[in-house]
Amino acid sequence: MNRLKIRYITTLLFTITMFGAIYSQNTDSLKQYVEIAGLNNPGVIADFMTYKATLQKVPQAGAYQDPEFEIGFFLEPMELIGGKQVAQFKLMQMFPWFGTKKSAQNEAVYMAKIAFEKFRNTRDNLYLQVYTQWYVLCNLQQQLNNNRENKILLNQLEQLSMRKFSSSSTGQTTTYSSFPITKSTSSKTSSSRSSKMSEMTSMDKENTPASVQSSKTTSMSSSNSMSGEMSNKTSGGMSNVLRIQLEIAELDNNIESIISEMKAEKAKFNVFLNRSSDSEIQIPNTFAAIPFLFDTEKFITAIEEQNPMLSIINEEKNAYKAKTELDKKMSYPMFGIGLQYMLNNKTNMSAFAMGNMNGKDMVMPMVSVSIPLYRNKYKAQQRESKLLQQASKEKYADTYNQLTAELYQSKHMLDDASRKIILYKKQTELAKTTYNLIVQEFVAGKSDLTNVIQVQRQLLNYQLKASEAVANYNTMVASIQKLISFKNTEKNTNAIYYGNK
């Protein structure tokens, strides 16, 4: 029973730990950063507030005109047949032509839709900026890792050169385990060679004539010149170490420069999220190209249906159409219904008194009609709306063509980045193999340090280019998604906006 309890508690703790790890990863994922940016960015919030403010114009457009109420007092009551008129009150309500209110509301609704599409366009631009900046940070992180890896290679090469230098000065051979290279066999030591040479020299001096001894002296001078060449090789080995240290110093400078650039780019990323510039950002150590399938016809259809720029122009065209109908309705007469009330006092002139009519207040219903006599004004308004509607059609066609051209340009850049990823990946693998081989040749004395450093630089260059190509590829994917609008992210953000705002 106790074992079962312990097993249950262990399983529970493991599950809680796993869920905590998953939650922390989701919190620091790119998707979470995009949602934070959509909810916190001041520019996006401002456009959303503008959209909500534009919605308030719909009930305003559908309201009747305010009624007019007039009050008039006589400083001296006016004598009438039925009394003295003291004051009069008049109330009038005007009504537009049938359907005018509905046309006005339609125009206001379309204007609100325009504001919403502008909000969507601002948010999509922000999302693209967040994606682009994220891939910039990932590229810098990858470049930082590549420089550090190459620094490790140079440190190993420095140790190898130091051992080679020390072995050449002592005449001994050591085994190098820093690189996958083959072991080299050494010759006999220089001490045994010198002892044998001294014995042979003493024997020759005893049994050899003077002419032969002079030739021997000449050979000894040549051996002295060989020892000088050996000293030059020793100094050359030390220069190799110094050259490697120069390369390491350059890599150190590159690393510090990348770290400084990352700080600036992180601050820029946090600006998009409306956070403190020093807020921590979790960047993955490695990143790869996003799996993406490009379908030209599908994307062109999606652009036409979902792109906010085209939606803005569509709603503008609908608004101008509704305005044309509104201008037509406004050119018709307006009707007014009112009531006039006259306050009368009794008169003292009995000759003109009319019995019960003396001093009686009067009520008079009223009807009014506006006469749109000057027609040129209304006709010009209708022509203006129709011309703007035609301009919207042409503007839609122009924007659609530009977006289509941008899609094909993005497709070209996407394919180019994809080819570069494959190329640089292949070149990186070949450079790694070449580097291992040339290090072996350097240890065996078949190649000099210049070739090793050149291959090492090529390796680093291909790694940096491969990282940049992946960042460009992912950025192009985000650009294409922006053309068709970020629908998946938009659904989540819309739910939060409409629920909390």
What is the C-alpha separation between 409 and 421, in angstroms, rounded? 18
What is the C-alpha separation between 291 and 44, in angstroms, rounded? 29
**Could you tell me what percent of the chain has a pLDDT over 90?**
57
Tell me if 71 is assigned to some domain. Answer: no
User: Residue by residue, what is the 3-state secondary structure of 89-133?
Assistant: EEEEEEECCCCHHHHHHHHHHHHHHHHHHHHHHHHHHHHHHHHHH
What is the C-alpha separation between 208 and 216, in angstroms, rounded? 10
What is the C-alpha separation between 54 and 112, in angstroms, rounded? 5
The answer to whether 466 touches 286, Cβ cutoff 8 Å, is no
Between 171 and 370, residue with greater pLDDT = 370
The residue among 113, 102, 107 whose CA lies nearest residue 50 is 113
What is the C-alpha separation between 226 and 274, in angstroms, rounded? 72
DSSP 351: T
The residue among 19, 193, 44 whose CA lies nearest residue 121 is 44
Q: What is the span of the domain harbouring residue 460?
A: 96-334+370-500
pLDDT attached to residue 189: 35
pLDDT 10s digits, 442-456: 888 888 889 999 999
Whether pLDDT at 46 is above 80:
yes
Q: Which of 297-301, 339-343, 357-361, 374-378 has the highest mean pLDDT?
A: 297-301
The four Cα atoms 145, 155, 236, 456 give a dihedral, to 10 degrees, of -30
Q: Is 366 helix (H, G, I), strand (E, B) or coil?
A: strand
- Alpha helices, DSSP H only, in 366-448? 375-444
Tell me if 422 is assigned to some domain. Answer: yes
pLDDT 10s digits, 190-228: 343 344 334 434 444 444 444 434 434 344 444 444 444
The residue among 229, 181, 245 whose CA lies nearest residue 446 is 181
Whether pLDDT at 30 is above 60:
yes
Side chain identity, residue 30: L
Tell me if 2 is assigned to some domain. Answer: no
The four Cα atoms 117, 118, 124, 130 give a dihedral, to 10 degrees, of -150
Tell me if 45 is assigned to some domain. Answer: no
pLDDT attached to residue 355: 62
Look at the chain and report how many structural domains it folds into.
1
Mean pLDDT value across the chain: 80
pLDDT attached to residue 228: 42
244-248, 292-296, 299-303, 485-489: segment of lowest average pLDDT = 485-489
308-312, 361-365, 480-484: segment of lowest average pLDDT = 361-365
Spell out the long-range contacts of 131-134 with Cβ–Cβ below 8 A and sequence spacing 24 or more. 131/30, 131/34, 131/474, 131/475, 131/478, 132/475, 132/478, 133/265, 133/268, 133/269, 133/272, 134/30, 134/33, 134/269
Tell me if 213 is assigned to some domain. Answer: yes
Q: How many Cβ atoms sit within 10 Å of the Cβ of residue 144? A: 20
Tell me if 294 is assigned to some domain. Answer: yes
Q: What are phi and psi of 347, to 5 degrees?
A: -100, 155
pLDDT 10s digits, 53-97: 999 999 999 888 889 999 888 877 776 666 778 888 999 999 999
The residue among 175, 174, 159, 150 whose CA lies nearest residue 241 is 159
* pTM for the model: 0.75
The answer to whether 411 touches 294, Cβ cutoff 8 Å, is yes
Tell me if 8 is assigned to some domain. Answer: no
Tell me if 165 is assigned to some domain. Answer: yes
CATH code of the domain covering residue 300:
1.20.1600.10
What is the C-alpha separation between 294 and 300, in angstroms, rounded? 11
